[in-house]
Amino acid sequence: MAALRILVPVKRVIDYAVKPRVNKAQTAIETSGVKHSMNPFDELSIEESVRIREKKSYPHGVDEIIAFSIGPPKSVDTLRTAMAMGADRSIFVETKEGEEVEPLAVGKVIRELVKREGINLVVCGKQSIDDDAGQTGQIVAGLMGWGAATQASKVSFGEKGVEVEKEVDGGTETVRSQLPMVITTDLRLNEPRYASLPNIMKAKKKKIDKISAEELGVSLERRLKTLKVIEPPPRQGGGKVDDVDGMIAKLKELGAI
């Protein structure tokens, strides 16, 4: 068996602590001048990949951890963070500022990279916190004909294959698959490290290869058109009732019963 060659797709998103705002034209979320950082689920993916290497949990070792991002020029920062956390090098597909790439197109780009780089494990976040599509991992698995273990809360390597505990409603489900495969990560999987200062310096020297979608033969053309983006209506304050009879009366009044 060969060593692992892991691809970790990462995305630069509006920081989780920032409240997103819709732009005036109601066409998109306001992104200029807003703090961005790595999608939190992607931090888990990088961390898990680095831990697989550090803890030598895969018997044949880890050959290379490659971070990948597709997005506007600033996404380079996110790739640097990924490398400061432990990825060996990066691949970057640059898009224009404000150009949103749909999961299918991202999946196709990843498919091409997987082939080029001889990847046998793709570890990605279960979703990005900006569009919450939650599709990319599964699409890659579909395009490649690989197994996909989604929402991982634990990953281990046994003699019979890769065992993944998945977060499901009310508990976990354990699945086993063979490499090559796709794993998508969930919150309980690990606690991502902070990029230490020496590692930030080391990351500066690591390589970022830029490649265009055309070179990979993938069209980024959108299939969906965003018609309108609106903020959720402000929450209505609730009312208090004195007792059960009051509640029933209220429900009747609202036509709920």
Q: Given the rule CB under 8 A, which residues bind another protein?
A: 37, 77, 80-81, 84, 194-201, 203-204
**Using CA atoms, how far apart are residues 209 and 216, in angstroms rounded to an integer?**
13
Q: CB 36 → another protein: shortest distance, Å? A: 10
Residue 77 identity (one-letter amino acid): D
Q: CB 112 → another protein: shortest distance, Å? A: 28
Q: Angle at Cα 113 formed by Cα 107 and Cα 117, nearest 5°? A: 145
Element containing residue 167 per DSSP (H, E): strand 161-168
**Using CA atoms, how far apart are residues 228 and 30, in angstroms rounded to an integer?**
13
C-beta of 196 vs 212, nearer to another protein: 196
**Using CA atoms, how far apart are residues 80 and 70, in angstroms rounded to an integer?**
14
Q: CB 197 → another protein: shortest distance, Å? A: 3
C-beta of 71 vs 147, nearer to another protein: 71
C-beta of 71 vs 107, nearer to another protein: 71
Question: According to DSSP H, which parts of the chain are helical?
Answer: 40-54, 75-85, 103-117, 136-144, 197-205, 244-253
Quote the distance between the C-alpha of residue 26 and its chain's center.
26
C-beta of 19 vs 228, nearer to another protein: 19
Q: CB 202 → another protein: shortest distance, Å? A: 9
C-beta of 35 vs 225, nearer to another protein: 35
Q: CB 20 → another protein: shortest distance, Å? A: 16
Give the three-class secondary structure for 210.
Answer: strand
